[in-house]
Structure 1
Amino acid sequence: MEWNTSSNNKNKMTVINGSHFSNLEAFYEEASLLFLKDEDWKVGTLDGFDDILYGYEGEIIWKDSRKSREDLGFDLTKEFYENKILQGKPFNVTLIQQILDDLISGNGQTLFEILIEIIESHKNIKLFLE
């Protein structure tokens, strides 16, 4: 893992390496190692990943992004939502079923696409897919 940093959160460059993970839990582990190196908590949700990007300024380079697009693609996303539906509370099963139906019909986002959208929603971050 590469990590270049200054003494603050500005002008950083972080490399997410898609060859280091093949599912969402392992992505969270990778993100925790990269972004929370000196913290005592870890990323464990999509919202948590979004939260750790606040205040970050710089570049994120996602190497092996094609592998990640496949690994975090349709099959894993479908399983992700099916597991939430099976778990039930505290999840809004009706809403998750609609999201799953959208995914199956070709109109929903995969986990990879959701992660990209989260990163791109932070205007101080430039994302490069390699």
Structure 2
Amino acid sequence: MELNISNNNKQKMTVINGGHFFDLSGFYEEVSSVLMKDADWKVGSLDGFNDILYGGFGVFENGDTVQLTWKESQKSKQDLGFEATKEFYENKIKQGKPFNIELIQEKLDELIDGKGQTLFEILIEIIESHQNITLILD
């Protein structure tokens, strides 16, 4: 867990370490400890992860320029790959409401057909959707 603030351009730098987790709940723990230092709630969903990237909840504010380095990203790519994603969708289907079972089944079918995104790819897409965040896969 690191947070460095560069004085020249006020870009905040933070690090997610893939060596600190091996599954999605571990990823949520890691980003909670890194990005939500003094907040009284933790990330527990993909939507929650997206929400904290807007800033204003933890270590950076809305609109801050952030450089996010994901160390051991290749390990995370495997940890949060096909098997973890398949299990993620299957668990949501088993749980049922409030989840949209038809949509989740479609996503599972796409994954199995080799067309769907893995959790790792979904997380990358979420990060990259925030224009103020530069992602570095290390």
TM-score range, shorter chain: over 0.9
Aligned residue identity for 2:96: G
1:79 is matched with 87
Unaligned runs of 5+ in 1: none
Aligned structure 1 segments of 4 or more residues deviating by more than 2 angstroms: none
Separation in 1, partners of 2:13, 2:86: 32
Aligned residue identity for 2:76: S
2:59 is matched with none
User: What's the offset of the Cα at 1:4?
Assistant: 1.6
Separation in 1, partners of 2:4, 2:40: 20
For residue 58 of structure 1, the aligned residue among 58, 66, 75 is 66
1:31 is matched with 31
2:78 is matched with 70
TM-score (normalised: structure 2): 0.89
Cα displacement string for residues 43-94 of structure 1 (whole angstroms, at most 9, x for unaligned residues): 0000000000002521000010000000000000000000000000000101
Number of residues of Structure 1 aligned to a counterpart in Structure 2: 127
Q: Determine helix, strand or coil for the equivalent of 2:98.
A: coil
For residue 95 of structure 1, the aligned residue among 86, 99, 103 is 103
How do 1:108-119 and structure 2 match up within 5 A? 108-119=116-127
User: What's the offset of the Cα at 1:11?
Assistant: 1.5
Q: Does 1:43 align with 2:43?
A: yes
Separation in 2, partners of 1:112, 1:11: 25
Identical-residue share of aligned pairs (%): 68
User: What's the offset of the Cα at 1:3?
Assistant: 1.5
TM-score (normalised: structure 1): 0.94
1:14 is matched with 14
> Superposition RMSD on alpha carbons, in Å?
1.1
For residue 112 of structure 2, the aligned residue among 104, 112, 123 is 104
User: What's the offset of the Cα at 1:5?
Assistant: 3.9
